[in-house]
Amino acid sequence: MNEPPFFVDAAKGEAIPLLVSLPHAGCEVPPEIRSRFFEEEARQLPDTDWHLRQLYSFVPEMGADLLSGRFNRYVVDLNRPKDGTPLYPGRSETELVPTSTFAGLPIYEEGDEPQAAEIEERTELYWRPYHRELERRLLNLKQRFGYALLWEGHSIVSFVPRFVQGKLPDFMLGDVEGQSAASELSDAAFQALGAGPLEAVRNKPFKGGFITRKFGRPDEGVHALQLEMRQALYMEEMPPFPYDKEKAPAVAELIQAALVAFVEASYKNL
């Protein structure tokens, strides 16, 4: 593979100490992998964080880089630990290389699931390059500003009984129960999200995935937040999963306000 397994929309204008990461926005699947998908629903890639690169397209104009996964989470999940350690012990989760959809349908025919050697190969090809790029860019920000801010952008269908009963909240901000970012920064972003008409909650039902937990180390100068949100806020949740040009701008505006609050709080408190 000659091209990197990620996209970078580079910052424009005056730089700020922020990196925005969209690990589940990727839609590409190598043909040799897609041909093995067993269920028609799996071939539609229903668990993709659809259109996030478009929704977050304002980020470079803020002065921050936008890093996005290029390949779908069914190829390898960039937001899972490579050793398979559970993020939420006792709760259902999908794997580093998922074998079932959020709806519980098999991705591969029984007996054709990826085995250890294939999982390691996918990890080397897709997972490691993304994590190296994250680390490199965060280090550059730390060297330039003395600290770095990481924002993990995600989206999910409104109802996922496999993980959570009932309808999900609109915005779900995670700081790993206060461990991945200074409280002043997390508070500022949360208040901005909650200032609009949409419901905002913190650390429930999701408190931050592997990337937020891995890189969010305030004592080492990196503050990370994860924003999960309902896809119905900005798109239709049924195939072909179209972007809603009427709803999306207001949602993008709220996210941008939260990012601005995150950055400005860092100027005041770090």
Helices (H), 57-115: 59-62
- Count Cβ atoms within 10 A of the Cβ of residue 95 and give its class: 0-12 exposed, 13-18 middle, 19 or more buried: middle
Provide mean pLDDT across the span 22-33: 97
Main-chain phi, psi angles of 14, to 5 degrees: -70, 130
Tokens representing 21 are 């990461």
> Does residue 254 belong to any structural domain of this protein?
yes
> Does residue 237 belong to any structural domain of this protein?
yes
Residue 1 is predicted with a pLDDT of 58
Domain that holds residue 129: 6-269
pLDDT at 159 over 90: yes
> Does residue 127 belong to any structural domain of this protein?
yes
Domains identified in the chain, total number: 1
> Does residue 1 belong to any structural domain of this protein?
no
> Tens digits of per-residue pLDDT, 64-104?
999 999 999 999 999 999 998 999 998 999 999 999 999 99
> Tens digits of per-residue pLDDT, 172-219?
999 999 999 999 999 999 999 999 899 999 999 999 999 999 999 999
Average pLDDT of the chain, as a whole number: 97
Instruction: Give the confidence band of 149 by pLDDT, cuts at 50, 70, 90.
Output: very high
What CATH number should be reported for the domain holding residue 102? 3.40.630.40
> Does residue 249 belong to any structural domain of this protein?
yes
Tokens representing 122 are 């996918």
Cα–Cα distance for residue pair 122/125, rounded to 1 Å: 5
3-state secondary structure of 193: helix
Is the torsion defined by CA of 191, 196, 201, 205 positive or negative? negative
